[in-house]
Structure 1
Amino acid sequence: MHTEGFDADTAALFVISVAADLAGMHPQTLRQYDRLGLVSPSRARGRGRRYSARDIAQLREVQRLSQEDGVNLAGIKRIMDLENQVLALGQRVEELETEIAHVRQQARRIFAAGMAGDIVATPMGRRPEQQRSTALVVWKPGR
């Protein structure tokens, strides 16, 4: 079975009646939450809703916030929007950290010229493996 790229949490597996049972809600409640943008499942070809495990978890969280914490639907929508924003910002931070690590790695290199006139990038503190005795440092990026 081919599972590359398959994410069990986000795979749209459940029809609305099954999702409603799993979340402990009425299917009409799920439809209302979809209309309000609280939990928006993917759609099948025939436009039927398909819920993922992540959608079910969100439905349960909406129910908890509403019943246990007394938050109204507008407040729940705002909370969920902010949580999604925090997740997106966290992903962006990770991307930037990766970019910074790459730039730092690049800055740790020096460039040397060999007897043949070729320019070779090499880690700081090392001479190029080729023509070890004839390398000349011509440029080193600022730190």
Structure 2
Amino acid sequence: MAASGADGTSGAGLGARGVYAISVAAELVGTGQQNIRQYERKGLLTPDRTDGGTRRYSESDLATLRRIGVLLDEGLNLAGVKLVLELEAENRGLTEDNRGLAEHNEELRADNRGLRKDLKRAQGMNGSAV
């Protein structure tokens, strides 16, 4: 299963593959292993697990852990952190949706311009035949 968290990060690629043990992840982000376990219990992130059940943290998980640290330093509690991560993930999704809709809108506008030209040509041909 790919690593994912309340921040919505998951998927293929090296950043999503769990490679770090909890001790290494804790050292890399500057927090304790118990903190990381608590974040997992609270649903803030879901690391990959080996067949034996050992947690493996990805680069994406490390980014989430760093973000959690920043939010905690700003005074949020874990419930607030979870909400912020969820809202940030939702915002990323909406931004992606908006990009797709903007591209589709431009395609429709281009089609519309072409149809208007075709209509003017057809009207011109029809008007000259009368």
Q: Which runs of 5+ in 1 are unaligned?
A: 111-123, 126-135, 139-143
Q: Which has the higher contact order (CA 8 A, sep 6+)?
A: 2
1:74-113 superposed matches below 5 A: 74-110=79-115
Q: Distance in 2 between matches of 1:87 and 1:60?
A: 18
Query: So what's the TM-score if we normalise by structure 2?
Result: 0.70
Task: State the superposition RMSD in angstroms.
Answer: 2.6
Query: Per the alignment, do residues 137 and 11 of structure 1 end up closer, same or farther by CA in structure 2, a change over 3 Å counting?
Result: farther
Q: Counterpart of 1:33 in structure 2: which amino acid?
A: Y
Q: For 1:103 and 1:59, locate their aligned partners in 2 and report how far apart those are by CA, in whole Å.
A: 42
2:57 maps to 51
Flag the structure with larger Rg.
Answer: 1
Unaligned runs of 5+ in 2: 1-10, 124-130
2:35 is aligned, of 29, 33, 40, to: 29
Cα distance, 1:105–1:11 mapped onto 2, change above 3 Å: farther
SS at match of 1:9: helix
Deviation at 1:80, TM superposition (A): 1.0
- TM normalised by structure 1 equals 0.64
Q: Deviations over 1:27-62 (max 9, x none)?
A: 222121112111222333433322221211221221
Quote the sequence identity (%).
35
Q: Deviations over 1:46-96 (max 9, x none)?
A: 333222212112212212221x22211111111111111111110110111
Structure with the larger strand share: 1
Q: CA deviation at 1:109?
A: 2.9
* Aligned partner (choices 67, 72, 77) of residue 61 of structure 1: 67
Partners of 2:19 and 2:97 lie apart in 1 by 29
1:132 corresponding residue in structure 2: none
